Chain A
Amino acid sequence: MGDATVGSAARERVIDLEGVRARQLPNGLRVRVLPERSTPAVSYYTFFQVGSRNERLGLTGISHLFEHMMFNGAAKYGPKEFDRVLEARGGHSNAYTSNDLTAYYEDFAADALETVVDLESDRMRSLRLTDESLEQEREVVKEERRLRTDNSVFGLMEEQLESLVFQAHPYRWPVIGWMEDIERIGRADCEAFFRTYYAPSNAAIYCVGDVDPEATLDLVERAYADIPRGPPPSPVAQGEPPQRGERRARIRFPAQAPALLAGWRGPPARSPDAAILDVLQVCLGVGESSRLRKRLILEEELAVSVTLSWGWRADPGVFFAFAELAPGGSPARAEEAMAEEIELLTRRGVSAKELARARALLRSSALHELSTHHGVAHALGQAEALLGDWREAGKTLAQYAQVTDADVRRVAAEYLHPDRRCVVELEPEGARPRPPRRAGGRRR
């Protein structure tokens, strides 16, 4: 079964890119359109090649705060108009900012395409930045930071971990920014940011759904052609020093139970090792039969949950392992078991069956992601933003098919080495330690 699965995965195209029509306008804007008529709707994504990695200390969080500003009115569609017009045409929009990019989308009934192109080109051409809207969004973003970080156990731990993993690279500060910087960002900062990073030369559009591709390309070209190029963005400094030993931090917080977050600096998305780490992640921590979940949750009850996360980034990403413990549980024992499993995998590798399982789960996950117009548009944009070419979307399955036991061992040894580990431990503050109800029940 293993060989058959490998063979079919290597040949399979999970996404049909034959139909993509691509164009680059003279002002640098890249446009990619994929007709797909299964659902009478369209997803329209605009990716700007800017995220927290393009920021500097003192202005951390500007990428994200600016994302909010994009909904506050432009020359043609004034304040409050963007969503009002879109919703009236049966659509909705949202956006997100990451370390590497900022992406905006609209999902809508197919006949609203012209309206959406008009709305998006209007704000790229002539966004109105006012002191009033900046002050209002600043308060909204502060609430968002309180929600996701300051009052969230995981948010606090993640922020701490990134600042351990990176000492020099801009990935060391959170995407939402430090509270003091959110307070400090001014309108002039936003205007400079807009000119550089929101120019068509720094953007790409992905339109997937019930559309005519050539007509859509022409429509987009007519709408955006007059927007001038921007200056080239400054390169991002890459001078991260090597890590020569484990780094640790402890957070005391009035939580009910302890938790543990470990992280290791991985390769950038363009490295062939990124796909190998996907496979390693599934072997270690995706699904009930994965090594860490089986041992820590099922067999030894050292953790209540174990979640692994390996996210591709333009520069070196982070491989995370997060474990929530029972009240009174021992973080030291959970950490020891985690380290043992990683060491075992590094030393002895993974079986052919484990590799086949990982490939099968990764294939289902890719298919799931590509089952909507929205998912396909996003996959194209992410591939181009991180890997330089939208044609890379959906190619990972072929890469997974090539991954061998030796590859997995090599990347585990290289990236998940104990000397490159960073650990954040959450120590519940003020919580009374509670013994487990049954003394003998926690071990087998």
Chain B
Amino acid sequence: MSAPIRLPPIVRERLPNGLGVVVASRPGVPLATARLVFRGGAALEPRGRSGLAHLTALAARRGTARRTGPEIDLLVESLGADVGAGVDEDATHVGLTAPVEALPRCLEVLADIATGPTFPPAEVNRLRRREIAALAHDLDEPSVVADRAMLRAAYGDHPYAHPPEGRARDLANVRRADVLAYHARQYRPGAAFLLVVGPVEVGEALELARRRFGRWRAPEADGVVVPPPSAPPPGVLVVDRPDLTQTQIRVASQGFARRSPDYYAGMVASAVLGGGFTSRLMQAIRVERGLSYGVRSRFATSAAGGLFYVSSFTKIETTAMLVQVAIDEAVRFAEQGPNAEELDRMQNYLCGLHPLSLETHDQVAERLADLAVFGLDESEITGFQDRVRAVDAEACRDVARRYFPGAKPLVVVVGPAKDVAKGLERFGEVRVVPVRAVT
């Protein structure tokens, strides 16, 4: 039904300074992806400094000992490349995709950005102002507001509670000294690895990595361990947007960490409940009732823990109905598990699409980065299909019973509180906050 997965030959090397280098040489379009990945992301920010990791990653390319920010922009873009920097809760990425012939030059720039940023004060301040303004624009995106409100309500005081972009009031307090300190602590070769994927010659790529990154020195620091989060508190949070004509809805419960033994059973169970177009939620909410354009469920898995959630949206008057259908379907699934046809279909679906998630150099780099961040091996990719097929109905039912939302989950709704709050009382105690409370 689906072809076995063959990864390209992957060569790994650890440089004397501790930097891990991973080179995957594969045919394909004449582009190459280079990514520098640091273990540790937004969860390592000091309390009250959310957004610091993100700001540091953005600011690193705004000037080095050798080049100004605009010089870096022009150089990289003239090569046909684009430097991207990003942070999630567990990792920091700085990378680019470039024409393969420009790889040597791009790696030199990447090394310059990672190892020698000067964080010009004017640029740090400008970026901070820009990020705060961008957070204001995010409040105009109801789906973004819902996701952020859910993280906050679900994780409480845990570092996963804030989005990687941070909160406006925290960012306003970030100073350049914070950026310098964060960079010194987290941007270390011993906590990083360099990925190069594309039609490259392995020996040349390794030699380039040694030459560009070999002299990078930074004092080692103790790794910070992020504690596991506790379960989301049940209840209903309404983020008031009086003007909306459609509510954004999240129904959440406790999930698990990426390395959990429940990972594959959870993925299959969630696919049956709320993956693809034929999932139970899609049938119940879109096909049978026309309540929404889309609905999905997923396990969001991080290093220290995770969430399970259902996300959807509907017109104001059917908000409580949609929440009820989502809960009912989750509860029914936890009681009965999938039937044989559903299980087989979803296993085929997940296995059939797996090769398509490894088609481009970028996709391969992303998967390899995940393995390194979470300390997993390549069998996660090559053995994916076997592991998915090994999940049986009882394992799905078991994982659903332990993680899917029960009758009283955490419900987050973004919409006009005066129209929806009353109807949501049946799901738990309702708390209403203004949209600005989310930032």
- Say whether B283 contacts A143, CB under 8 Å: no
Instruction: Find out whether the CB atom of A151 lies under 8 angstroms from the CB atom of B246.
Output: yes
B residues less than 8 Å from A80 (CB atoms)? 278, 283, 287
A58 interfacial contact with B, CB 8 Å: no
Chain B residues near A357: list those with CB within 8 A.
74, 77-78
Cβ A360 vs Cβ B246 within 8 A: no
CB of A140 within 8 A of CB of B278, answer no
| Complex Cα spacing A92 to B276, Å | 8
A256 touches B1 (CB 8 A): no
List of A residues within 8 angstroms of B70 by Cβ? 288-289, 294, 298
- In the complex, whether B360 has a CB less than 8 A from a CB of chain A is yes
Number of interface residues of B (CB under 8 A): 68
Contacts of B80 in A (CB 8 A): 360-361, 363-364
Taking the closest CB of chain A, its distance from the CB of B384, in whole angstroms, is 13
Select which of B31, B79, B136, B277 is within 8 A of A326 by beta carbon: B136
In chain A, positions 138-181 with a C-beta closer than 8 Å to chain B are: 138-144, 146-147, 150-153
User: Quick one: given A40-B3, A87-B276, A87-B277, are A441 and B125 in contact (CB under 8 Å)?
Assistant: yes
CA gap between A372 and B27 in the complex, in Å: 12
Q: Which residues of B contact A93 (CB under 8 A)?
A: 277
CA distance A109 to B352 in the complex (A): 5
A-B contact pairs, 12 of them (CB 8 A): A40-B2, A92-B353, A109-B1, A111-B1, A143-B290, A144-B293, A287-B73, A289-B70, A324-B133, A360-B99, A364-B99, A368-B29
Given the interface contacts A90-B351, A304-B133, A436-B129, does A287 sit within 8 Å of B82 by beta carbon?
Answer: yes
Complex: how many Å from CA A63 to CA B349?
Answer: 29
Task: Report the bound CA distance from A298 to B126 in whole Å.
Answer: 8
| Pair A150/B133 contact, Cβ less than 8 Å | no
**Chain A residues with CB below 8 A from B277, complex form:** 71, 83, 87, 92-93
Is A108 an interface residue when CB atoms closer than 8 A count as contact? yes
Q: Does residue A417 face the partner (Cβ distance < 8 Å to B)? A: no
Residues in A with CB closer than 8 Å to B291 are 139, 143
How far, in angstroms, from A327 to B77 measured CA to CA in the complex? 30
Chain B 63-84 interface mask (CB, 8 Å, partner A; 1/0): 0000001100110011111100
6 closest Cβ contacts across the A-B interface? A90-B352, A139-B290, A360-B80, A40-B3, A326-B133, A288-B73
Closest chain A CB from B45 CB (angstroms): 21
Does A117 reach chain B (CB closer than 8 Å)?
A: no
**Is B137 engaged at the interface, CB distance under 8 Å to the other chain?**
yes
Q: Which residues of B contact A88 (CB under 8 A)?
A: 344-345, 348-349
Count of A-B contacts with CB under 8 A?
A: 205
Judged by a CB distance under 8 angstroms, whether A191 is at the interface is no
B352 — which chain A residues lie within 8 A by C-beta?
A: 41, 89-91, 108-109, 112
A182 within 8 A of partner (CB): no
What mask results when residues 358 to 374 of chain A are scored 1 for a CB within 8 Å of chain B, else 0?
A: 00110110011011111
Contact status of A353 and B31, CB under 8 A, knowing A135-B290, A364-B99: no
- Interface residue from A84, A150, A289, A364 paired with B345 (Cβ < 8 Å): A84
Decide yes or no: A367 and B133 within 8 Å by CB, A87-B277, A139-B290 being known contacts.
no
Contacts of B79 in A (CB 8 A): 360
Chain B positions within 8 Å of A, measured between CB atoms, are 1-3, 27-31, 69-70, 73-74, 77-82, 97-99, 125-126, 129-130, 133-134, 136-137, 139-142, 172, 241-246, 276-278, 283, 286-288, 290-293, 313-315, 344-346, 348-349, 351-353, 355-356, 358-361
B276's nearest neighbour on chain A, judged by CB, is A87
Give chain B residues whose Cβ lies under 8 Å from the Cβ of A327. Answer: 133, 136
Partner of B140, one of A255, A294, A297: A255
The answer to whether B359 touches A254 (Cβ under 8 A) is no
CA gap between A325 and B140 in the complex, in Å: 13
Bound form: Cα–Cα A316–B317 in Å: 41
Q: Does A39 contact B (CB under 8 A)?
A: yes
- The listed residue (B77, B130, B242, B313) touching A297 by CB distance below 8 A is B130
With A89-B348, A301-B129, A437-B172 known, 16 other A-B pairs at CB within 8 A are A80-B283, A83-B276, A108-B352, A109-B3, A110-B3, A112-B352, A147-B246, A254-B241, A289-B70, A298-B70, A301-B126, A368-B97, A371-B359, A436-B129, A441-B126, A442-B129
Beyond A143-B313, A305-B134, is A371–B361 a contact (Cβ under 8 Å)?
A: yes
For chain A, residues 263 to 305, give those with C-beta under 8 angstroms from any C-beta of chain B. 287-289, 294, 297-298, 301, 304-305
Give the most central of A84, A112, A153, A253: most B CB within 10 Å: A84
Is A67 in contact with chain B by the CB < 8 A criterion? no
Inter-chain CA distance A256–B99, complex, in Å, is 40
Give the docked Cα–Cα distance between A357 and B277 (Å): 42
A90 touches B2 (CB 8 A): yes
Nearest CB in chain B to that of A152: its residue: B141
In the complex, chain A residues 70-101 whose Cβ is within 8 Å of any chain B Cβ: 71, 80, 83-84, 87-93
Are the CB atoms of B31 and A289 closer together than 8 Å?
A: no
The answer to whether A367 and B30 have CB atoms under 8 Å apart is: yes
Cβ of A16 to closest chain B Cβ, rounded Å: 11
Q: Which of B2, B74, B97, B246 contacts A146 (CB 8 A)?
A: B246
Q: Which residues from B are CB-within-8-Å of A140?
A: 286, 290, 292-293
Is residue A136 within 8 Å, beta carbon to beta carbon, of the partner chain? yes
A255 to chain B: which residues have CB within 8 Å? 140
* Min CB–CB distance B342 → chain A (angstroms): 10
- Whether A40 contacts B29 by the Cβ 8 Å rule is no
Q: Does A38 contact B (CB under 8 A)?
A: yes
Q: Tell whether, in the assembled complex, residue A41 and residue B355 are in contact, meaning their CB atoms are under 8 Å apart.
A: yes
How far is the CB of B260 from the nearest CB of chain A, in Å? 26
Q: Which of B73, B74, B134, B278 contacts A84 (CB 8 A)?
A: B278
CA distance A38 to B355 in the complex (A): 11
CB contacts (< 8 Å) of B73 on chain A: these are 287-289, 294
- Minimum CB–CB distance for B437 against chain A, Å: 13
- Give chain A residues whose Cβ lies under 8 Å from the Cβ of B355: 39-41, 109
Instruction: Name which residue of chain B comes closest to A79, CB basis.
Output: B287
Q: How far is the CB of A360 from chain B (nearest CB, A)?
A: 3
Which residues of chain A are within 8 angstroms of B358 by Cβ–Cβ distance?
Answer: 39
Taking a contact as CB atoms closer than 8 A, the residue among A143, A153, A289, A298 that contacts B77 in the complex is A289
Among A107, A151, A364, contact of B97 (Cβ-Cβ < 8 Å): A364
With A108-B352, A143-B291, A304-B133 as contacts: A83 and B278 at CB distance below 8 Å: yes
Interface residues of A in 326-346 (CB under 8 A from B): 326-327, 329
